[in-house]
Amino acid sequence: MRRTRSEIVGRAVHTAIRNPGRSSLTMLGLAIGVAAFIAMVSFGTGARTAVMEQFEVLGTRVASIRSNVGRRDFGGSAKPLTDADVEALKRDAMTIERVVPMTTEVQSVRSANATYSTEVIGTMPGFVKIREWPIVTGGMFDDTDVQQRAKVAVIGLTVARELFGLADPLGQTVTIGSNLPCTIIGVLAPKGQATSGRDVDDILLVPASTFAAFLGMPMGYFGFELQVRDIEMLESAMQEVVPIMRRSHRLSEAEPDDFRTGSPVQAAAAARLVSNILTGLLMGIAAVSLLVGGIGVMNIQLVSVAERTQEIGIRSAIGASPRQILVQFLSEAVVLSFTGSLVGVLLGWLLSSLVADAMGWSGGLPLLTMIGAAAFGTSVGVIFGYLPARRAAQLEPMEALRHE
């Protein structure tokens, strides 16, 4: 009494259709588990991609030094960062290729038709090189502009749109604060949002000397942007600059640093660690969901075996071997598990797409991930469906026929 594969599968499909309620319950657990698995993989991949995109936004070889004092502390006992610190770093730091000082403050900026508050940064021409930030229209101010305290500005795309709408901002004049009119000479390429949600394009650059002369910050800098010679040197650069800065600030061994160092790599590593831990926890939850789905397959298949005991006895009596009965019940588990896994893949893809859109993550779910999830879900169903199938195959024909 041999059956072809198509007949076995057809009978399994027929059995599933004949018991829609039981089949739906069997598939539901696996569908939820597979959907959770795909969603968690997508979440982890999207989070890691976002971290790396943020790393690229801030520059790939960038480190920073920041003063521990705010603007209100300038002029007091705490020391801001100074040109002497810049010279010390350029002279003594072997891992550093470029040092660019900067001072920043949120200021009101007015055009002829609009007023907008943005982050104004007083810096040097090398700022855009360190940040790997192209200028799409116009150009960056140069060293001559810094020496002459030129009243020029380079703006981010957000500032350009807020102050000028769709009009060309080049050559237009804006007033920063109450007394600093500047001519727009360049517009930065858009970079989008940081992982913190901050709009990176909400920025206005002026020469550091202009900032100091007209915006009331004559005594020093808020921080330095550092470009290391090679990305592999970031950690060693962080270690190298600390003693140089301490010597420049004449700090004794007992005195704490009056500055702090950092880099996007450190922030990215921390964010990646948190993302990996969270993804691992969520993957564990997804694995438990699949386990529960597999147990559901086993329980419902056991119920099916109990309800179909007489059918099994009749098939055995007319010549069906234990192996054929085993294959029949396993094929039913395969059909239900595979169908449930496909439903789970669809739900997981939909959920992943919604999360990606909400978080602003780029990229899609790899086809291989979906195929792997479907195969894994089907395997779980088959593994848990083996015990009921084996029990059905081991039933004695006479006892099965007497079963009521």
Task: Tell which residue, 268, 356, 199, 265, has the closest CA to residue 51.
Answer: 268
Q: What is the pLDDT of residue 124?
A: 94
Is it the case that residue 166 has pLDDT exceeding 50? Answer: yes
For residue 306, CA distances in Å to 250, 301, 302, 362, 401 come to 85, 9, 6, 50, 12
The gap between the terminal CA atoms of the chain, to the nearest Å, is 26
Structure tokens at 25: 């319950």
Is 167 a member of any domain?
A: yes
Together in a domain, 109 and 253: yes
Determine how many CB atoms are found less than 10 A away from the CB of residue 181: 12
Is it the case that residue 232 has pLDDT exceeding 90? Answer: no
Together in a domain, 389 and 274: yes
Is it the case that residue 314 has pLDDT exceeding 80? Answer: no
Is it the case that residue 74 has pLDDT exceeding 60? Answer: no
Together in a domain, 224 and 75: yes
Total count of domains within the chain: 2
Is it the case that residue 160 has pLDDT exceeding 90? Answer: yes
For 46, residues 6+ apart whose C-beta sits below 8 A from its C-beta are 352, 355, 356, 359, 361, 363
Q: Report the alpha-carbon angle 281-286-290, nearest 5.
A: 145
Together in a domain, 103 and 234: yes
Together in a domain, 80 and 158: yes
Task: Tell which residue, 282, 291, 293, 289, has the closest CA to residue 355.
Answer: 282
Task: Tell which residue, 210, 193, 215, 212, has the closest CA to residue 202.
Answer: 193
Structure tokens at 275: 């993302």
Per the DSSP assignment, residues forming a β-bridge with 386 are: none
Is 63 a member of any domain?
A: no
For 265, residues 6+ apart whose C-beta sits below 8 A from its C-beta are 55, 231, 234, 235
Is 45 a member of any domain?
A: yes
Together in a domain, 156 and 28: no
Cβ proximity of 335 and 22 under 8 Å = no
SS (H, E, C) 11-38: HHHHHHHHCHHHHHHHHHHHHHHHHHHH
For 108, residues 6+ apart whose C-beta sits below 8 A from its C-beta are 115, 116, 117, 176, 177
Is it the case that residue 75 has pLDDT exceeding 50? Answer: no
Determine how many CB atoms are found less than 10 A away from the CB of residue 171: 9
Task: Look at the block and give the residue holding tokens 């237009």.
Answer: 172
Is it the case that residue 51 has pLDDT exceeding 80? Answer: no
Per the DSSP assignment, residues forming a β-bridge with 321 are: none
Backbone angles phi, psi at 181, to 5 degrees: -80, 130
Is it the case that residue 399 has pLDDT exceeding 50? Answer: yes
Q: Which of 212, 233, 257 is the last residue of a domain?
A: 257
Task: Look at the block and give the residue holding tokens 């006895």.
Answer: 313
Together in a domain, 346 and 308: yes
Is it the case that residue 78 has pLDDT exceeding 60? Answer: no
State how far the Cα of 184 lies from the Cα of 132, in Å rounded to an integer: 20
Together in a domain, 334 and 386: yes
Q: Which of 233, 257, 281 is the last residue of a domain?
A: 257
Query: pLDDT grade, residue 57 (50/70/90)?
Result: low
Q: What is the pLDDT of residue 158?
A: 95
Task: Look at the block and give the residue holding tokens 């595979």.
Answer: 338
Is 100 a member of any domain?
A: yes
Q: What is the pLDDT of residue 194?
A: 66
Backbone angles phi, psi at 192, to 5 degrees: 85, -155
Side chain identity at 271, as an amino acid letter? Answer: A
State how far the Cα of 195 lies from the Cα of 186, in Å rounded to an integer: 26
Q: Which of 58 and 119 is assigned the larger pLDDT? A: 119
Together in a domain, 222 and 313: no
Together in a domain, 241 and 195: yes
3-state secondary structure at position 360:
coil
**Region 273-290 average pLDDT:** 75
Query: pLDDT grade, residue 1 (50/70/90)?
Result: very low
Q: What is the pLDDT of residue 354?
A: 81
Q: Which of 229, 257, 285 is the last residue of a domain?
A: 257
Query: pLDDT grade, residue 17 (50/70/90)?
Result: low
Q: What is the pLDDT of residue 272?
A: 66
Backbone angles phi, psi at 334, to 5 degrees: -65, -45
Query: pLDDT grade, residue 22 (50/70/90)?
Result: low
Is 263 a member of any domain?
A: no
Is 59 a member of any domain?
A: no
Is 39 a member of any domain?
A: yes
Q: What is the pLDDT of residue 73?
A: 46
Is 177 a member of any domain?
A: yes
Average per-residue pLDDT for the chain: 80
State how far the Cα of 160 lies from the Cα of 182, in Å rounded to an integer: 14
Query: pLDDT grade, residue 115 (50/70/90)?
Result: very high
Domain ranges, residue 80: 69-257
**Region 262-272 average pLDDT:** 67
Together in a domain, 45 and 179: no
Q: Which of 48 and 104 is assigned the larger pLDDT? A: 104
Q: Which of 293 and 402 is assigned the larger pLDDT? A: 293
Q: What is the pLDDT of residue 77?
A: 47
CA dihedral 159, 163, 169, 173 (to 10 degrees): -110
Together in a domain, 81 and 221: yes
Give per-residue pLDDT as tens, 321-376: 777 777 777 787 788 888 888 888 898 888 888 877 776 666 566 777 788 888 88
| 264-307 vs 309-317: helix crossing angle, rounded to 10 | 70
**Region 379-404 average pLDDT:** 71
